[in-house]
């Protein structure tokens, strides 16, 4: 069945199809319609789940944490300041290896106050132990939420997943979305079977204290799970393709990169704009490509190296700033390319903060600036990296 819906509604449909047991969330723009739609589904009987009304985002994730350790499949959603308010619980959930799935409708952080989109809110959480997947379309938002449960609940991973969608550009913009049949989703996503649960007859403790002799082992286990998640993310995406006929690239989604001299690295919805510009420049004989990072954590370093090994200049488009240095994604890409014998020049551009439009003209300007970035012009280009 096809519906003309926005990204928030697509996420809510995925939650219903995943047969989630417990939802706890607190409203915040531009995420609120996700949980409003889920609440309506529960009230109408379309979704048999418990909806917990909480007093804050911190409490929402704490409630999901408690429900998950009893064996429930759980969901929450948030944005911006709400995600920041959850920060303490992000570490508790990942450190306890609880497979929570959370949708983040990306929005800039205060101050100054803004309700518009950039990636600062989720980027600052990239070191909290959560898998982070960034989607390009409402269709991918639905599909990735379903995939996220398979990934998070995989016994070799057991790590929470953030599904990040650009605020307004995806959360509130409507498009045609294919809604899969419940029977097909049940085949792809069977009921959650936790390895460890809290039961009155067999009490367990989650989030225990650990001294210096034990603490590093817990953190090492998280790192190893993240490493294993790379293969699981790709495998789940391929299995999704076999059942539903759609794949989203696994960890990275390259476009016209094979013979490109200049490649633009993107996250999220801006990718579609970048592809259109790349097509137009290709008609002029300019060899450009676009590499979308679908996963930021675990970072797909090997896939990035393969995709960018043959190009001359890599431009990285960040909708965030790691204050005191540069865009965070640019730093990640530079680090990945250090393994190449002759790495390309990497140029960072920071655009789209606080909902600033990223237009086709802006993308074209990036590509044309990078045309000049040969042996001696890289620093000149880098100096003009934001507007």
Please report, for residues 323, 330, 379, the alpha-carbon distance to residue 346 in angstroms, rounded to integers and kept in the order given: 19, 8, 10
pLDDT value at residue 381 = 46
- Residue 362's CATH number: 3.40.50.920
| Rounded distance between C-alpha atoms, residue 283 and residue 27, angstroms | 46
Mean pLDDT of 282-291: 97
Mean pLDDT of 18-38: 97
pLDDT value at residue 374 = 56
Share of residues in the chain with pLDDT > 90 (%)? 90
Shared domain for 104 and 195, answered yes or no, is: yes
| Rounded distance between C-alpha atoms, residue 133 and residue 240, angstroms | 16
Is there a domain that residue 387 lies in?
A: no
Residue 102, pLDDT above cutoff 70: yes
pLDDT value at residue 383 = 42
Q: What residues contact 177, with CB distance under 8 A and at least 6 apart?
A: 2, 3, 4, 5, 10, 13, 138, 139, 142
Is there a domain that residue 233 lies in?
A: yes
296-306 pLDDT, tens digit per residue, is: 999 999 999 99
Shared domain for 73 and 197, answered yes or no, is: yes
Shared domain for 260 and 210, answered yes or no, is: no
Two structure tokens written together for 32: 């609120």
Mean pLDDT of 153-157: 97
Q: DSSP string spanning 152-189?
A: HH-TTT---EEEEEETTTTTS-EEEEE---HHHHHHHS
pLDDT value at residue 173 = 96
243-264 pLDDT, tens digit per residue, is: 999 999 999 999 999 999 999 9
Domain end call among 218, 244, 270 = 244
Domain end call among 244, 271, 306 = 244
How many domains, in total, are found in the chain?
Answer: 2
CB 133 within 8 A of CB 148: yes
310-333 pLDDT, tens digit per residue, is: 899 999 999 999 999 999 999 999
Shared domain for 180 and 324, answered yes or no, is: no
211-221 pLDDT, tens digit per residue, is: 999 999 999 99
Task: Using the structure block, give the residue that is written with the tokens 């531009």.
Answer: 30
Shared domain for 133 and 235, answered yes or no, is: yes
Mean pLDDT of 39-46: 97
Shared domain for 258 and 204, answered yes or no, is: no
324 phi-psi bin (left φ>0, alpha ψ -120 to 50, beta other): left
pLDDT band at 377 (very low <50, low <70, confident <90, very high): very low
Mean pLDDT of 149-178: 97
Task: Using the structure block, give the residue that is written with the tokens 């609440």.
Answer: 39
Shared domain for 96 and 202, answered yes or no, is: yes
CB 331 within 8 A of CB 279: no
Is there a domain that residue 166 lies in?
A: yes
Shared domain for 199 and 268, answered yes or no, is: no
Mean pLDDT of 350-374: 93
Choose among 18, 25, 95, 27: nearest CA to 64.
Answer: 25
260 phi-psi bin (left φ>0, alpha ψ -120 to 50, beta other): beta
CB 103 within 8 A of CB 74: no
CB atoms within 10 A of CB 20: 26
Shared domain for 257 and 131, answered yes or no, is: no
Domain end call among 210, 244, 278 = 244
Shared domain for 191 and 152, answered yes or no, is: yes
pLDDT value at residue 162 = 98
Shared domain for 167 and 263, answered yes or no, is: no
Please report, for residues 119, 156, 211, the alpha-carbon distance to residue 22 in angstroms, rounded to integers and kept in the order given: 27, 23, 33
- Residue 42's CATH number: 3.40.50.970
Residue 375, pLDDT above cutoff 90: no
Share of residues in the chain with pLDDT > 70 (%)? 96
pLDDT band at 201 (very low <50, low <70, confident <90, very high): confident
Choose among 85, 164, 107, 79: nearest CA to 130.
Answer: 164
Residue 358, pLDDT above cutoff 50: yes
Please report, for residues 75, 159, 223, the alpha-carbon distance to residue 16 in angstroms, rounded to integers and kept in the order given: 10, 21, 31
Is pTM beyond 0.75 here? yes
Two structure tokens written together for 86: 């959850």
Helices (H), the chain: 7-17, 32-44, 57-68, 80-85, 87-95, 120-123, 138-153, 182-188, 215-244, 270-283, 301-308, 328-337, 360-371, 378-382
Residue 378, pLDDT above cutoff 70: no
Residue 268 is part of which domain span? 252-382
Distance of CA 330 to the CA centre of its chain: 17
Shared domain for 222 and 359, answered yes or no, is: no
CB 20 within 8 A of CB 75: yes
Residue 387, pLDDT above cutoff 90: no
């Amino acid at each position: 069945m096809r519906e003309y819906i926005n990204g928030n509604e697509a996420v809510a449909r995925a939650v219903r199809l995943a047969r989630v047991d417990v939802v706890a969330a607190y409203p915040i723009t531009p995420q609120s319609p996700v949980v409003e739609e889920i609440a309506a589904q529960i009230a109408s009987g379309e979704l048999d789940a418990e909806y917990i009304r909480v007093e804050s985002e911190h409490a929402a994730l704490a409630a999901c944490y408690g429900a998950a350790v009893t064996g429930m499949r759980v969901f929450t959603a948030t944005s911006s300041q709400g995600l920041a308010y959850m920060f303490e619980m992000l570490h508790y959930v990942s450190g306890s290896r609880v497979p929570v799935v959370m949708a983040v409708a990306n929005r800039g952080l205060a101050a100054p106050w803004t309700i518009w989109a950039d990636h600062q809110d989720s980027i600052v959480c990239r070191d909290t132990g959560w898998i982070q997947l960034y989607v390009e379309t409402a269709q991918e938002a639905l599909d990735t939420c379903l995939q996220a449960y398979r990934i998070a609940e995989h016994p070799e991973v057991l790590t929470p997943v953030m599904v990040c969608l650009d605020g307004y550009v995806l959360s509130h913009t409507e498009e045609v979305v294919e809604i899969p049949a419940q029977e097909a989703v049940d085949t792809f996503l069977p009921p959650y079977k936790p390895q460890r649960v809290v039961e009155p007859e067999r009490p367990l403790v989650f989030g225990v204290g650990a001294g210096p002799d034990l603490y590093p082992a817990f953190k090492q286990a998280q790192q190893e799970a993240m490493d294993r998640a790379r293969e699981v993310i790709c495998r789940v995406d391929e299995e999704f393709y076999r059942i539903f006929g759609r794949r989203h690239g696994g960890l990275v989604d390259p476009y016209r990169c094979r013979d490109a001299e200049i490649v633009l690295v993107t996250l999220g919805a801006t990718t579609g704009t970048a592809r259109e510009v790349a097509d137009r420049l290709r008609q002029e004989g300019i060899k450009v490509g676009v590499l979308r990072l679908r996963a930021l954590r675990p970072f797909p370093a090997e896939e990035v190296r393969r995709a960018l090994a043959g190009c001359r200049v890599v431009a990285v488009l960040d909708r965030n700033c790691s204050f005191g240095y540069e865009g965070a994604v640019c730093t990640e890409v530079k680090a990945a390319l250090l393994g190449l014998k002759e790495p390309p020049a990497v140029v960072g551009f920071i655009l789209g903060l606080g909902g600033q439009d990223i237009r086709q003209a802006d993308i074209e300007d990036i590509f044309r600036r990078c045309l000049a970035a040969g042996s001696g012009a890289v620093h000149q280009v880098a100096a003009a990296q934001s507007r």
